[in-house]
Structure 1
Amino acid sequence: MPSRSFGVFTHALRSEEPAERPAVRQAAAELQDLGYACVWLGGSSSVRHAAHVIEHTSRITVATGITNIWFDAAEDVARDRAALEAAHPGRFLLGLGASHAELARDYRRPYSAMVAYLDRLDAAGTPVPAEGRVLAALGPRMLTLSAERAAGAHPYLVNPDFVRQARDVMGPDALLAPEVTVVAEKDPTQARARAREWIEYYLVLPNYLANLRRLGFSDEDFEAGGSDRLIDSLVVWGDEETVARKIRAYHDAGADHVALQVLSTREEEFTPLVEWRLLAGLLGLT
């Protein structure tokens, strides 16, 4: 991943709905032309989701953000990844995550489960090399593991303070590619309202709450959809200059790559192409 690069984090482009496939292909091609370095497929995405995007673009990296280790067997992932790598060398990055007890069947001891999963990837007929995978790491142990047995980490729901701490834990060489949520809106009421709609889902998941507490937030910050302090720390919003500055703050804190997830305040569309274009211009990608 290029240093100080930007990507897009999106659930939409993992769609397998036949009617949406043309829009997936069109959006992926435009993201490539806009200068983004990577498309991160959100949700419990798999190699097959990435394959469709890769097959209809020519150079952009496609990553899973994340492949759920409870849902996809390591041996199957290694096999599918090998086939994709053979057809399109160097275009795919495997993002792995242990999800949450509330969302995954048979959830148990996530750190130990991730170590065992990496062991199986290493032992597969065509192993997944460490440089071809990243971990959805938040806690210090998982961050250390991501530096030791993967290319690095792809943390979610974090701020620049987390990035600085993670860089200290991981060292200077590991890839650090946080997801960063953006509302391209300068009105505080509208921006925070949209952010609260999104963050409500995550404020009942203990893994995220534990990490936010490590960053200095308290139970009061998690009430009523999140305090202004919490929202303003985790979600980028404001005028164009402010948005660009807040996004670049993640690079300044130690991130190599920033995966931008856009929350549109306009009428719901399949993809927020208007905002993706705007951000590409603000960040000097085009």
Structure 2
Amino acid sequence: MSIAGSSLRDTVSAEEWRIRVDLAAAYRLTALFGWDDLVFTHISARVPGPEHHFLINPYGMMFDEITASSLVKIDGEGNKVSDSPYEINPAGFVIHSAVHAARENAHCVMHTHSVNGVAVSAQQGGLLPISQVSMGVLSSLGYHDYEGIALNPDEKPRLVRDLGKHTYLMLRNHGLLTVGATPADAFVAMYFFESACMIQLRAQAGGGPLVHIPQAVLDGVREQMQVATRGVRPGQLAWPGLLRRLDRANPGYAD
């Protein structure tokens, strides 16, 4: 279910091919980490250039099958702009198109329906400040109330408003969303988001009172993170290792 990588690679810019490879890797890593929902969520990435084109998964292809060549190039309305034997789910691009249009720095938008994420999104208190990993998420987290399956373009302004300048958005009763400058950044942000939700559910399952991190500690987390990562984005730090793991577990994404 893939086009010959060499033929497509010869027809696109080096910048587009690099984004295709990283985005395909992000899809396969999502499957490897168990966050995929069959074929029903999406990760989109902006193609470098003035045309405002995007790459998204071919509808019906499992995340662990996606390759750089099979990703479909579309415009801001979800229409295909290059030859591809694959179709996309236009409705699945409603959320993504809203974010891409409103946030110039949101080159990659990642949305999941993970079990842990949906479970916490259904809790009235949302994500709680009870773990170290939750601190970074809470420092840049918005919430968006559920309005049904994301098919209505009228929902876009409210979604954009609720995301604001945040990196993380919890879609109530629905799932998780992250944005990043690259697929690496969006994926690593989702790793932290998903981990924080998993920790919360396990802590709650223990049945005892939970210890909340004081607000004064939360207020200093951004500065602490800069020190801990030496000013380098977490996605940049972790991505090479994640690709090595993927090469061992499920190679072929760069085809």
Which structure has greater helix proportion? 1
Asked whether the two chains share a fold, i.e. TM above 0.5, the reply is no
TM-score by length of 1: 0.29
